[in-house]
Structure 1
Amino acid sequence: MHIIQEILFVFAFAIAVYLFYRKARQIRLNILLGRDVSLNDHPDLRLKNVLLLAFGQKKMFRNPLVAVLHFFVYAGFLIINVEILEIILDGILGTHRLFRDVLGSVYPVLIGCFEVLAVLVIVGCAIFLIRRNVVRVRRLAMHELDGWPKSDANYILVTEIVLMLLFLTMNTADQALHPDLGPFWVSGAFKGAFEGFSPFALEAIERSCWWLHILGILAFLNYLPYSKHLHIILAFPNAYFSDLRPKGKMENMPAVQKEVTLMLQPELAAAEPAPADMPKFGAKDVPDLTWKNILDAYSCTECGRCTAACPANLTGKKLSPRKIMMDTRDRAEEIGKLGNTEGKTLLRDYISEEELRACTSCNACVQECPVSINPLHIILQLRRHLVMEESSAPQEWNMMFSNIENNMAPWKFSPDDRDKWAIEMNA
């Protein structure tokens, strides 16, 4: 009987790992659709970002209560995975609580800590479900989350609660079956609930919970790549490769700077060789973005802190930085599955001009994101394409561009008249 269980477990484990690898590989290829960009400078600062933002969740603690609850869920999920290692080895080797003899008296303490974390995970997930579905916090109840995004969040929270309950029930039945095992801190207090159960019934309960728990974990592993909860994994590389430049610094194109220089100094134009190929300005579709932009999109937690801080969104404009990231990820997925579908692009088919025009470039979304996502960089590249490739801009912008081209300043004054204000001041 044990050998059959071992074979079944190894088969299920191998299938789960293979399916996860296949999807993870596809996501990597989707991310690499973007243009190459080098983000390997200052490794010390990048590691610091990983420690503070990804591990420490520094930005989350601007709202201490939510941050603490999220930290319980996050820490519990990560730390309890140590216990999953034991379950996997037990399943492969056909053993029962393999680490018990290795750790000795430390083992009940360790499992006890895991159980406390499991309770905290249950409490945290329950409160988050209430916030989403009963209290309906504004940023968690916007229409852009209707349908799958809202269901996705609820599925994950409910799944985590069920997994933790299975873990606690498994431990409770196991202690009732093996009195010398514990006592564990939480389940040990409830093992009396199984008093009077036969050894067969206790083993059936323990084994059922064991199988459901580990199969649930393997199913959760393969659900992650299709879910916003992929940020559990991608938050770490995304924090490492975050932009270290000051937030107000925008990325200029050398080709554009060169043209401006030639405009201001026409005498240099004669000596300048004609470019072999016309550069591409901005981005119209996902392959025109950088791989970091696409990594940002896959790392998005859909928490909506960016949108909640966006002044354009707060004043009723159509722009939502969270939607920008969700649309970018959806388009990357579409290209990864179907190829670069003819006539369909990120710009207009997913993100409208109205959304792009509403952005004030204030960097509030960048500042608020807990995992170092930069929606503004995508917005600026799409807007650059509109202006420089399609000559599509509001009339007010066109007037400013014309003034800069003719007068070398945003205002409609001749360069010869710029110093008149000083003359008038001295009069």
Structure 2
Amino acid sequence: MELHFGIQNILFLVALGLAAYFFAKNFGKVWRNINLGKAVLRNDRPNERWALMTRVALGQSKMVKRKVVAGFFHVIVYAGFLLINIEVAEILLDGILGSHRMFRPFLGPVYDAAIHFFEILAVMVIIACLIFLWRRNVQKVDRFKELKGWAKRDGNNILYIELVLMTALLLLGAAEANIEGNGVDGWIVSSQLAPIFSGMDQGTLHAIERFAWWFHILGILAFLNYLPYSKHFHIIMAFPNVWHSKLEPAGQFTNMESVKKEVELMMDPNADPFAAPAEGDAAEEPSRFGAKDVLDLHRVQLMNAYSCTECGRCTSSCPANQTGKKLSPRKIMMDTRDRLEEVSAIVDAKGKFEEDGKSLLDDYISREEIWACTTCNACAEACPVNIDPMSIIVEMRRYLVMEESAANPALNTMMTNIENNAAPWAYAQADRANWINE
């Protein structure tokens, strides 16, 4: 293996360093935003969490559960992204060290077989991206109709970028197949595309090969820095998001510790409600019940917002949405992320969050939306990366009930009946069995 370190390698190192710096900066900002939320302990049962992450995030087990066609092509794109990165790793090393296809001398026939596979996969990724573009823009699948503006453009941008990057990779091989002495003319797709460049002189072929090489790798570095601004950031966030999934039963209600302590105090006949705190115990700061704004949510809920793929499976599974209600679980997650970005801008400008007269509740998510939820958990069950929109809805409901006494009127009636009659119905306990006589 020969190394030819020169000006191209210096330029490559500069480009790589800049890309890594800006990505680290943007990723750090996202992680800072997530940590603006309340701390939550989600590191129990680690073996179960690792197995879940391997099955759901890495293995894509939920992608083909219901949307079989879309799931199948998504798995192709995902596999292409993962496996072709092996070739990208070689390109990075070639750019740093000044080598050319440095793995080939060591791997021999195995290398050629891998390139055959990568090229076939690249073609399949191109086909999958074209199908997705058709579904989004021509067929106009119902669950994408809700997406407008940037959300719609972003979904298309991802597919265009994938198409261009895969095409550049194949054209790189096609140009190289015509260069004398390279010995790559037998690669399955490159050999079919090679006639595009036949008849060109060697200098032109080298220039095309270098252009395709630079275009492909710079495109990947640019794409890397596009991710933090895109819903495609889920390719990174899906892994920690699934690892921090809620492992308790789906419908289990999460109690607030402060409320739980008050109830335990009321139930203990020996407790002194007026007793001073024990020595060394810090007085607990009063906190808001439930969530009015994003800073009232915990960190996993904010991570959920950055992990949302905007695929719409949650909304298409939601019975409230299907019956014409205003609720869209996807919108809940997108609104949470948008509000968090707004809060982040205030923190960047002022060093800390200062009230801006806005909140997640009412300014982004309406009360009509959160009361439309049936808490059936269909949204979380449908999500391919285990996002839990219902938990955010429940926290906003908790705020309305406990802070504003603004529960849905039907719920207020039910709770009043339970308080007065020990039952949801509006008649006394003594009359409960009257139906037997009818």
TM-score (norm 1): 0.93
Query: Helix, strand or coil for the counterpart of 1:317?
Result: coil
Residue type of the alignment partner of 1:160: E
User: Which residue of the partner structure matches residue 12 of structure 1?
Assistant: 15
Query: Helix, strand or coil for the counterpart of 1:58?
Result: coil
Q: 2:314 matched to 1:312?
A: no
Separation in 1, partners of 2:407, 2:30 = 34
User: Which residue of the partner structure matches residue 397 of structure 1?
Assistant: 411
1:380 to 373, 394, 414: 394
Could you tell which deviates more after superposition, 253-262 or 209-218? 253-262
Separation in 2, partners of 1:92, 1:373 = 39
Separation in 2, partners of 1:262, 1:401 = 22
Separation in 2, partners of 1:188, 1:273 = 84
1:101 to 81, 96, 105: 105
Separation in 2, partners of 1:262, 1:237 = 37
1:194 to 197, 210, 218: 197
Residue type of the alignment partner of 1:387: V
User: Which residue of the partner structure matches residue 226 of structure 2?
Assistant: 223
2:138 to 134, 137, 148: 134
Separation in 1, partners of 2:263, 2:273 = 13
Q: 2:116 matched to 1:116?
A: no
Matches within 5 A, 1:179-190: 179-182=181-184, 183-190=186-193
Matches within 5 A, 1:357-372: 357-372=371-386
Could you tell which deviates more after superposition, 87-96 or 26-35? 87-96
Give the drift of 1:257. Answer: 4.3
Separation in 2, partners of 1:262, 1:387 = 22
User: Which residue of the partner structure matches residue 38 of structure 2?
Assistant: 35
Give the drift of 1:256. Answer: 3.3
Give the drift of 1:160. Answer: 0.4
TM-score (norm 2): 0.91
Matches within 5 A, 1:333-348: 333-339=341-347, 340=353, 341-348=355-362
* Bigger share in helix: 1
Residue type of the alignment partner of 1:136: K
Separation in 2, partners of 1:155, 1:350 = 25
User: Which residue of the partner structure matches residue 333 of structure 2?
Assistant: 325
Which digits, 9 at most, give the CA deviation of each residue in 1:257-309, with x for residues without a partner? 4555677x6x8497334795544310111111010000000000000000001
User: Which residue of the partner structure matches residue 349 of structure 1?
Assistant: 363
Matches within 5 A, 1:57-68: 57-62=60-65, 63-68=67-72
Is the contact between residue 265 and residue 271 of structure 2 (CA under 8 Å) also seen in structure 1? no
Going from structure 1 to structure 2, the CA distance change for 1:157 and 1:236 (only over 3 Å counts) comes to same
Give the drift of 1:409. Answer: 3.0
Q: CA RMSD in A?
A: 2.1
Residue type of the alignment partner of 1:320: S
User: Which residue of the partner structure matches residue 46 of structure 1?
Assistant: 49
Residue type of the alignment partner of 2:73: L
Give the drift of 1:189. Answer: 2.3
Matches within 5 A, 1:202-351: 202-257=205-260, 268=269, 271-273=272-274, 277-339=285-347, 340=353, 341-351=355-365
Which digits, 9 at most, give the CA deviation of each residue in 1:66-114, with x for residues without a partner? 2221111000011101111111111111121111212122221111111
Separation in 1, partners of 2:196, 2:288 = 69
Could you tell which deviates more after superposition, 339-348 or 269-278? 269-278
Which digits, 9 at most, give the CA deviation of each residue in 1:180-204, with x for residues without a partner? 4222111122223322110011011
Separation in 1, partners of 2:182, 2:209 = 16
Separation in 2, partners of 1:397, 1:412 = 13
Separation in 1, partners of 2:257, 2:433 = 34
Query: Helix, strand or coil for the counterpart of 1:61?
Result: coil
Separation in 2, partners of 1:281, 1:146 = 34
User: Which residue of the partner structure matches residue 25 of structure 1?
Assistant: 28
User: Which residue of the partner structure matches residue 280 of structure 2?
Assistant: none
Query: Helix, strand or coil for the counterpart of 1:295?
Result: helix
Give the drift of 1:426. Answer: 9.2
Residue type of the alignment partner of 1:33: L
Which digits, 9 at most, give the CA deviation of each residue in 1:300-359, with x for residues without a partner? 000000000111111111110000000111111111121334211111111111111111
User: Which residue of the partner structure matches residue 77 of structure 1?
Assistant: 81
Going from structure 1 to structure 2, the CA distance change for 1:153 and 1:213 (only over 3 Å counts) comes to same
Give the drift of 1:2. Answer: 6.0
Which digits, 9 at most, give the CA deviation of each residue in 1:144-199, with x for residues without a partner? x1000000010110110110000000011111103542221111222233221100
Going from structure 1 to structure 2, the CA distance change for 1:338 and 1:279 (only over 3 Å counts) comes to closer
Q: Which runs of 5+ in 1 are unaligned?
A: none
Separation in 1, partners of 2:198, 2:140 = 42
Q: Which runs of 5+ in 2 are unaligned?
A: 278-282, 348-352
